[in-house]
Amino acid sequence: MTWKTIASVGQIEEDEPLGVRVEGREIAVFKLGDFLYATDNVCSHQYALLSDGFVDGEYIECPLHQGRFHIPSGKAMGGVVTEAIRTYPCRVEGDQVVIDLPDKDQA
């Protein structure tokens, strides 16, 4: 596991997830209240970026077919999605957001 800086805290607004590309992965960062969460940004159904979707409480709705995921756990919660998205440990260091990426051989 490797902690990587992916954004500064000020870039992430509530209800406006940030999509970033880091080490070949598409990652979405969400702000829910005082907490930040990082998940895969690509939907598990087809290719759509969840950072372009709609936040509804602790859920993100995919912009393409409206599948829903629970942001903190990544669980698929309805619509056409059945497969969870990956979540990543996420924390703030100073004014930077860092996430723990799995090593490449654990991808």
Footprint on this chain of ligand FES (rule: CB under 6 A):
43, 45-46, 48, 62, 64-65, 67, 80-81
Shortest CB 68 distance to ligand FES, Å: 9
Smallest distance, ligand FES to C-beta of residue 57, A: 18
Give the pair of three-digit tokens for residue 16: 């406006």
In this structure, the number of other CB atoms found within 10 A of the CB of residue 49 comes to: 17
Shortest Å distance, C-beta 64 to ligand FES: 4
Nearer to ligand FES, 11 or 26 (CB): 26
Which are the contacts of 93, defined by CB distance < 8 A and separation ≥ 6?
5
Extract the tokens encoding 35. 């907490």
H or E, element range at 36: strand 35-40
- Toward ligand FES, which CB reaches closer, 7 or 76? 76
**Which is nearer to ligand FES, 43 or 55 (by Cβ)?**
43
Q: Nearest distance from residue 82's CB to ligand FES, in Å?
A: 10
CB 5 within 8 A of CB 97: yes
CB closer to ligand FES out of 50 and 97 = 50
